[in-house]
Amino acid sequence: MSAPRGEGGGEGRNAGGGRGEGWGDALAVEGLGCDRAGRRVLSGLSFRLAPGEALALKGPNGVGKSTLLRLLAGFLPMAEGTAMHGPVSLAADRAAFQERIAFAGHLDAVKPALTVADNLGLWAGLHGTGAARAAAALARFGLERIAGRPAAECSAGQRRRLGLARLLVIDRPLWLLDEPTVSLDTASARLVAELIGAHIARGGAALVATHIELGLPGLGTLTLAPPAEAAPARSADPFLEGRW
């Protein structure tokens, strides 16, 4: 999980668990596009995500779910369109946009040399949210028993829980989650769904790429379709057309 740009950006303002910027604002995406390796992989995407709503991001492998989440997290440039969170434009003020977001990607981005507890403590310190909050996140994800273990020695599921626990350490209104239940056992997957539910119940919003059903009441769906391929130019050469 990462709070984009973020490291240090929110320090001091969130101590004691107070809310950060942007609660109450909607995400508005219009005509969004993204290129990867010179290829348009997302095109003309528009949707809106209001406070108190969660959307399951669906679509076949390679359709662009991770790309969309990484773009909105500010890690990939947009090729076209706009993304606004309330009055804040991703294109015009990426840092301010990122301060409204908590991103949990495929890579859990934990510090392998640090213990589980120190990973969360570091995260809380960077964002000025305090040790009590890190301890609460540790407990919520059932990580107390392995609090002293270096993250490098954690299993995939334990590392994933540690990565996700950081969602609870910072207080961002918009959660962008990329396959958050991968590697998790049934109870932990259920916990993730519960936490998303609690987040939206308090006015947050979540966009969650997932291949499984989260079992979250009221969860909407945003299904991505591959961009229409430009028709290949016809060649007069039968060899190139495969008619030889």
- Shortest Å, Cβ 150 to ligand ATP: 28
Among 9, 33, 52, 59, binds ligand ATP (CB under 6 A): 59
Closest listed residue to residue 74, CA positions, set 85, 60, 61: 85
Among 12, 16, 61, 213, binds ligand ATP (CB under 6 A): 61
How many Cα atoms are found within 13 Å in the side-chain-facing hemisphere of 169? 35
Secondary structure of 134-188 as H, E, C letters? HHHHHHHCCCHHHCCCEHHHCCHHHHHHHHHHHHHHCCCCEEEEECCCCCCCHHH
How many Cα atoms are found within 13 Å in the side-chain-facing hemisphere of 95? 5
Which of residues 155 and 223 has its CB atom nearest to ligand ATP in the complex? 223
- Shortest Å, Cβ 176 to ligand ATP: 12
Which of residues 62 and 148 has its CB atom nearest to ligand ATP in the complex? 62
Q: Where does residue 140 rank: exposed (0-12), middle (13-18), buried (19+ CB within 10 A)? A: middle
Question: Is residue 227 a contact residue for ligand ATP (CB under 6 A)?
Answer: no
Question: Is residue 183 a contact residue for ligand ATP (CB under 6 A)?
Answer: no
Among 63, 154, 207, 214, binds ligand ATP (CB under 6 A): 63
Cα distance between residue 178 and residue 243, in whole Å? 44
Which of residues 66 and 89 has its CB atom nearest to ligand ATP in the complex? 66
For 158, residues 6+ apart whose C-beta sits below 8 A from its C-beta are 116, 143, 146
Which of residues 41 and 200 has its CB atom nearest to ligand ATP in the complex? 41
Per-residue x/- marks for ligand ATP, 197-226, CB under 6 A?
Answer: ------------------------------
Cα distance between residue 74 and residue 93, in whole Å? 10
Q: Which residues pair with 29 in a beta bridge?
A: 47, 83
Candidate segments 63-71, 79-87, 90-98, 114-122, binder of ligand ATP by CB under 6 A: 63-71
Range 9-48, binding ligand ATP (CB under 6 A): 36-37, 41
Question: Is residue 142 a contact residue for ligand ATP (CB under 6 A)?
Answer: no
- Give the orientation angle of helix 186-201 with respect to helix 156-169, to 10 degrees: 10
Cα distance between residue 150 and residue 3, in whole Å? 22
* Tokens coding 244: 């030889």
- Shortest Å, Cβ 200 to ligand ATP: 22
Question: Is residue 115 a contact residue for ligand ATP (CB under 6 A)?
Answer: no
Which of residues 21 and 178 has its CB atom nearest to ligand ATP in the complex? 178
Site size with ligand ATP, rule: CB under 6 A:
11
Question: CB of 52 within 8 A of CB of 218?
Answer: no
Among 18, 24, 62, 148, binds ligand ATP (CB under 6 A): 62
Q: Where do contacts with ligand ATP occur on this chain (CB under 6 A)?
A: 36-37, 41, 59, 61-67
